[in-house]
Amino acid sequence: MTQTAPTVTLVRGDITEQRADAIVNAANSSLLGGGGVDGAIHRKGGPEILAECRALRASHYGKGLPTGQAVATTAGRLGAEHVIHTVGPVHSTSEDRSALLASCYRESLRVAAELGARTVAFPAISTGIYGWPMGDGARIAVRTVREAAVAPVEEVRFVLFDDSAYAAFESALQSPA
Ligand code: ADP
């Protein structure tokens, strides 16, 4: 059977409010929480998420989760089954790190598929504290998801925090695949 790429949807909102099988956290390599999406997920999801992150650090990621990789924990009190933590690259003007940003989306979807998730919600990874320009971040996100065939994932939802992020993703979605 040929696999098809998931349907891509856009919503303006808060990732912590999403009902989805998995939501993706724009984590940092320590897995111990931070600002932005990361802070919001831990605040609202409760201590169970951090406890699993600490256990993952102890068992596998003593040096931190490498940039571009993804790992799953419980979603605690959130309206999702799983949180998938991925570490986006910090934007750089001297080096092209696009492949690492694409890897975050691809690896998160691979983990989601392993977990049997049908719906996956993503924030705009790296476009906050890590400084990635929104337009370029949106193009990389949309292109990578379009190229992914990751059954049983059927819906990829980008959850955009403000109007300009929504507009950037809308424009990326309208451009040819
Ligand atoms: P990074 O460190 O990967 O840049 P951030 O969490 O700082 O991650 O920001 C990633 C993007 O998520 C930014 O565009 C930011 O505006 C947005 N954002 C921040 N909080 C939320 C939230 N609660 N839900 C969805 N998006 C959010």
Q: How far is the CA of 115 from the centre of ligand 1 (A)?
A: 24
* Ligand 1 contacts CB of residue 123 (under 6 A): yes
Cβ proximity of 120 and 136 under 8 Å:
no
Q: How far is the CA of 125 from the centre of ligand 1 (A)?
A: 7
Model confidence pLDDT, tens digit, residues 112-137: 999 999 999 999 999 999 999 999 99
38 flagged as catalytic? yes
Model confidence pLDDT, tens digit, residues 91-113: 999 999 999 999 999 999 999 99
